[in-house]
Amino acid sequence: MSSHAIPLKEATIRNRQGLWLFFLTEVFLFGSFFVLRFSLWGDTRPELEQTAGLIATFVLLVSSLAMNRAEVAIAHGDKTKFRNNILVTFVLGAIFLGMILVYEWGALLGLHGEVLGIPVGHILPGDGVYGSVLYLMTGAHALHVLGGLVFIAITLFKGMRGDLTVKDHFFAEACALYWHFVDLVWVFFYPALYLIGHVVDIH
């Protein structure tokens, strides 16, 4: 009968292509948020907590590095190294998410004052175009990070159960690619939200 059993290599190529096409749709989705950012904010931006932004960005970038090490480890069948690195990725990702929630969404979550010496966020989604775009962009990104954390957890679980082999570990590859993609989006979001334009009083 015709191509009934698809060879592993071929299946992997198809999955990989599908994944990249999915990223392409995501590029256009995030692109529409960019258009909103630049058309509604122009060369202004609200005041955000710079220290928190810088640390969060750094944390996310380091997590990508750990993710890469985890992927390389599973490709070589090194389970311990895989586990350690993917755990680091998970923790760093969770820290990033927490920082966004506290230092950007703080006002919405009812926080006041400072957490760990850094002032919490003071902007609400109802604060005109500034609050709206900020929450739309960080929210969309945070949802992707959350999805990534779930993805990482499943990868860890699969890896430890022995489902990911040296020959067949596309799942880990997909997880890593997805995580890098989410990081890359932030690399563009961070300057758009934190750096470009001059600060204006949003109230």
The amino acid occupying position 195 is L
Closer to another protein at the Cβ: 29 or 195?
29
Using CA atoms, how far apart are residues 201 and 203, in angstroms rounded to an integer? Answer: 6
# residues contacting another protein (CB under 8 A): 41
- The Cα-based distances of 97 to 59, 90, 117 in angstroms read 10, 11, 18
The H-or-E segment that residue 138 falls in is: helix 128-161
> Collapsing DSSP states into helix, strand and coil, what is residue 66?
helix
Nearest-approach distance from CB 50 to another protein, in angstroms:
24
> Collapsing DSSP states into helix, strand and coil, what is residue 160?
helix
Confirm or reject binding of residue 200 to another protein (CB under 8 A): no
Confirm or reject binding of residue 2 to another protein (CB under 8 A): yes
Confirm or reject binding of residue 39 to another protein (CB under 8 A): yes
What does residue 118 show for φ and ψ, rounded to 5 degrees?
-110, 135
Residues 132-151 that bind another protein (CB under 8 A): 132-133, 135-136, 140
User: Torsion angle, CA of 52/55/61/62, rounded to 10 degrees?
Assistant: -140
Residues 97-116 that bind another protein (CB under 8 A): none
x-or-dash pattern for another protein, window 6-35, by CB under 8 A? xxx-xx-xxx-xx--xx-xxxxxxxxxx-x
In the set 87, 115, 131, 158, which binds another protein (CB under 8 A)? 131
Q: Which residues bind another protein (CB under 8 A)?
A: 1-8, 10-11, 13-15, 17-18, 21-22, 24-33, 35-36, 39-40, 125-126, 128-129, 131-133, 135-136, 140
